[in-house]
Amino acid sequence: MVGTRGVPARYGGFETAVEEIGRRLVKAGHEVTVYCRGERHPGGEYLGMRLVHLPAVKKKVAETLSHTAFSVTHTAARRVARKGPDVALVFNAANAPLLPVLRMMRIPVATHVDGLEWKRTKWSGAGRRYYRNAESLAVRWSDALIADARGIQDYYTERFGASSVFIAYGAPILAGTDVTKLTEAGYQPGGYHLVVARFEPENHVHLAVEGYRRSGAVKPLVVVGSAPYSDAYTERVRELAGDDPRIRFLGGVWDQDLLDALYAGALTYVHGHSVGGTNPSLLRAMGAGASVVAYDVNFNREVLGEEAGRFFDDAVSLAHLIEAAEADPQAAAERGAAARKRAAERYVWDDVAAAYERLCEDLVARRLTRKTVRARR
């Protein structure tokens, strides 16, 4: 498993997926190697997974690709020594230029293509072109493409005529709220609205703040997140918040128990993400039983359905939804319960891991190859 920051999962959706899938594949009797960068876990093993820590160039445009380059080189050397893997699972289409190294070693490879990264505003002309080209290379050189949302499947079919395997993420189902954590942080269950997101324009944190300010809400808006690359966008969000005492910026919250308690205790969770596939933050909110108010794009409608959420497309519609939740908190709670039920039924890590196991078996047996990816052509 290559192309992520690795495990233990302390960053985002890819890392969580690697941890949850990898640990289950180990339980099923497979040997799993995870390539990691950053903090080292002692002992070289985690939950039965073998960890290989390699360096990366610490720059936004080069970190992921440089680490993957070291990782596939290491994999190729192990293959030469007859210790290499039967299958490579590569996360992020941005790593596609390195797939020929794996192919040269006759290692079947599946690429998890992620969302539509080229749509993110942090990538300008050259970066955007790179991601568009990388998608094309992933189609050309992968033996299978993995899409975590039907909308991503549709995109690859329509743009490239390519087949992909649909495997969503799993959702953590939280049984109850740690009220102690909430009260220590100064909050009560049902006493606030919540945003959890990296500060990027396509996550619409600015729209969440603007919509909330337009509302007559009494309960505060708690904003969790930061901007690793965009001071200008952070400044824009704070300017929109102005001196409104109802809006509270917490920055990054790295205490997972506290973060889970914030999800579970929110009157509404405002989800503005728009360019990814199945978003892990949305699944965590659903698993916590939060009443979700989501930006109206196909990915979010796919995950929530029509009964487990409400949708906004501008500040005015969001303001109305926030006011409606405060006017009828019981209805909001019922939608949260419906969201948890949907997550528990549709987004199950055991099912996800079993789908990855079948995928790997199909790759080893050569039932999936570059020809099957391009069969739709």
3-state DSSP percent of the chain in helix, strand and coil, to 5: 50, 15, 35
Q: Are residues 162 and 274 in the same domain?
A: no
Q: Go through 58-86 and write b for each residue having 16 or more CB atoms within 10 A of its CB, e for each that does not.
A: eeeeeebbbbbbbbbebbbebbeeeebbe
The pLDDT-based confidence of 376 (bands split at 50, 70, 90) is low
Is 229 or 278 the better-scoring residue by pLDDT? 278
Q: Are residues 70 and 50 in the same domain?
A: yes
Cα dihedral across residues 10, 147, 47, 363: positive or negative: negative
Examine residue 239 and state whether it is found in any structural domain, yes or no. Answer: yes
At 207-247, the pLDDT tens digits run 999 999 999 999 999 999 987 667 889 999 999 999 999 99
Q: Are residues 132 and 250 in the same domain?
A: no
The residues that bridge with 216 in the sheet, in sequence order, are none
d(CA 90, CA 2): 5
Examine residue 2 and state whether it is found in any structural domain, yes or no. Answer: no
Q: What angle do CA 189, 190, 194 make, to 5 degrees?
A: 100
The SS3 assignment for 83 reads coil
Structure tokens at 242: 């102005």
Examine residue 100 and state whether it is found in any structural domain, yes or no. Answer: yes
Examine residue 3 and state whether it is found in any structural domain, yes or no. Answer: no
Domains held by the chain: number? 2
182, exposed or middle or buried, with CB in 10 Å at 0-12, 13-18, 19+?
buried
Q: Are residues 224 and 355 in the same domain?
A: no
At 287-296, the pLDDT tens digits run 999 999 999 9
Examine residue 300 and state whether it is found in any structural domain, yes or no. Answer: yes
Instruction: CATH number of the domain at 205, please.
Output: 3.40.50.2000
Q: Are residues 185 and 235 in the same domain?
A: yes
At 174-197, the pLDDT tens digits run 877 677 889 999 999 999 999 999
Largest CA distance in the chain: 66
Q: Following DSSP, what letter does each residue of 5-44 receive, concatenated?
A: --SS--SSHHHHHHHHHHHHHHHTT---EEEE-SSPPGGG
Q: Are residues 146 and 202 in the same domain?
A: no
This prediction has a pTM of 0.91
The answer on pLDDT for 204 being more than 80 is: yes
Of 185, 93, 89, 176, nearest to 130 by C-alpha is 93
Q: Are residues 331 and 353 in the same domain?
A: no
Examine residue 8 and state whether it is found in any structural domain, yes or no. Answer: no
Tokens 């359905």 belong to which residue? 305
Domain span at 363 = 13-170+349-373
The H or E element containing residue 322 is helix 315-327
Q: Are residues 160 and 53 in the same domain?
A: yes
Q: Are residues 163 and 233 in the same domain?
A: no
pLDDT of the residue at 50: 97
Q: Are residues 58 and 102 in the same domain?
A: yes
Tokens 């809006």 belong to which residue? 247
Q: Are residues 191 and 338 in the same domain?
A: yes
d(CA 18, CA 85): 16
Q: Are residues 132 and 227 in the same domain?
A: no
